[in-house]
Amino acid sequence: MKCSQMSASLRAYARLLQEAGCPRCAQDLEALAAAFGRGGEQAVSAVVKKIAKHWKSSGRVAEYPGQLKAELEHIASALSAAGANSAAQDYRSVISLFTGTTGASAHAFAEAAVRSLEVEHIPPEPPAPLNQALIKTFAERLTAARSDNARFDAIVSELRAPRRFSNAALAAIANCYLGAERTYKSRSEILKAITNRQLQDALQASRDRRIAKIAV
């Protein structure tokens, strides 16, 4: 089911507990319902994986609210007994987050889940703008040295220097030198494109010289 459906389901069970005279249990389910409501139209299983991954990478101390886990287990068992196996499986997926020791409040547990989902929605920082002057300078140097192997190899060695150029900058230098827009899978592929072009230019220059001699 989707997270929005899980949230609605939890709220429905919370209302039943409220009417049965268990306001604390109802509040616990409401807290978890609010957390999964943040997942919107995403699948419950996918959101559970995101939360678990973030908790593991952030070093969160594994604690869970024991009473809330028991309530979810009762719901999952009831759904299974009614033949609603898919819904029961989604509840068991949520229950898989309840690891470690008991003691955490339902509110704190739900807030930790919400923080994990908020991390997922933080947009990545835009890449730093490329130094166009530097890109043009290196492309011009490569072009000027293409008939001089020693000079050309020295420039390529500069480009190979670790951490001096980002992959984006290196690709921009290559494309400026090649005079074409290409995409690359790795740094080694970028450098190979540069050296291959120099080799092609050298072969073409040699061929042109031979033709010129024959013409004379």
DSSP code per residue over 16-50: HHHHTT-HHHHHHHHHHHHHHHTTTTSBHHHHHHH
Residue that has been written with the tokens 């939890």 in this structure? 10
pLDDT for 201 = 79
pLDDT tens readout for residues 113-171: 998 888 655 466 677 799 999 999 999 999 999 889 999 999 999 999 888 899 999 99
Radius of gyration in angstroms for the set of CA atoms belonging to the chain, rounded to a whole number? 31
Question: Which region, left, alpha or beta, applies to residue 84 given φ > 0 means left and ψ of -120 to 50 means alpha?
Answer: beta
Domain chopping of the chain, boundaries: 3-120, 132-215
pLDDT for 10 = 96
In total, the chain counts a number of residues equal to: 216
Among 33, 107, 29, 38, CA closest to 73:
29
pLDDT for 134 = 94
Asked whether the beta carbons of 113 and 97 are under 8 A apart, the reply is: yes
According to DSSP, the residues that pair with 43 across neighbouring strands are: 2
pLDDT for 26 = 94
pLDDT for 203 = 77
Q: Is the dihedral of CA 184, 186, 189, 191 positive or negative?
A: positive
pLDDT for 23 = 93
pLDDT for 200 = 87
Threshold 0.85, pTM exceeds:
no
Task: Determine the straight-line distance between the first and last CA of the chain, rounded to whole angstroms.
Answer: 81
Residue 193 is given by DSSP the state H
pLDDT for 137 = 96
pLDDT for 97 = 96
The tokens of 184 are what?
């690359």
Q: What is the pLDDT along the chain (216 residues), one digit of tens a residue?
A: 999 999 999 999 999 999 999 999 999 999 999 999 999 999 999 999 999 999 998 888 999 999 999 999 999 999 999 999 999 999 999 999 999 999 899 999 999 999 888 865 546 667 779 999 999 999 999 999 988 999 999 999 999 988 889 999 999 999 999 999 999 999 999 999 999 998 887 777 666 676 666 655
The tokens of 82 are what?
């009614």
Alpha-helical runs (H) found in the chain:
3-19, 23-37, 44-58, 66-81, 85-95, 106-120, 132-144, 149-160, 167-178, 187-215
